[in-house]
Amino acid sequence: MRILVYGAGVIGSLYAAKIGNSKYHEVSIIARDKRLIELKENRLLIKHMKGRDIEKANVNIISELDPEDIYDYILVTLRKDQVKNVLPILRDNKSKNILFMVNNSLGPSEWIEQLGPERIILGFPGAGGKRENGIVNYHIVSSFIQPTTIGEIDGKYTERLKTLRNILLQAGFHVSISSDMDSWQKSHLAMVSPMANVIYKCGGDNYTVTRNKDAINLMNKAIREGLTFLQEAGFKITP
């Protein structure tokens, strides 16, 4: 299959590289500005955080999406504030399956307005890392903590979800399919935001957090408050 990753940050670079190196599919990645120059000069490089070997990704590096260039799947791996600018480009392209791997607690209404619900798949990455000296140092999160999670807007279990799941599994990612991705992302934010804030409060060190009972109590209250709000607003707490 032909797969495009739209966005060459840590997440986009990692998913493009792992899918490309699985050697089952033709993968391209869109990069811009300094990142485009960096990739053109040195190629896309990734390294596991606990390893030493640097992998060179088997991907095509491009700078834009042509309206006539059709892909089986497009993975959008941008920040939410960046997505708005690329919606007209995605709208003009006729690729049918667009996976938004975007942290979005507001729901997909803006995307639906531009693209229609039938083209959109919702998702969230189960990996992370950082880029240093042009190399993406990555970690794939365990299936118990947070697999890569995907789902249809209407919650159905479709053939294209099965195919996408297999693509991601072949690339080495843990994958879960959600029947309610909108609630999943809202629940995720209600949990992760207080956790992140308490880590920042404690100097960015999770071990320091464990010794600060007041910070932990504040975090727990914030998580409970967020989850209670979601329930009272009619959303399901998932998972």
Residue 145 above 90 pLDDT? no
Mean pLDDT is lowest, of 5-9, 18-22, 161-165, 209-213, for: 209-213
Q: Quote the percentage of the chain above a pLDDT of 70.
A: 100
- Please tell me whether the overall predicted TM-score, pTM, comes out greater than 0.85 for this model: yes
- For the segment 19-28, the average pLDDT, to the nearest whole number, is 94
b/e map 186-210, b = 16+ CB within 10 Å: bbbbbeeebeeebbeebeeeeeebe
Tokens of 158: 């479709």
User: How far is it, in rounded angstroms, from Cα 188 to Cα 104?
Assistant: 10
For residue 239, what pLDDT band results from cuts at 50, 70 and 90?
confident
Give the pLDDT of residue 14.
Answer: 97
Give the pLDDT of residue 204.
Answer: 83
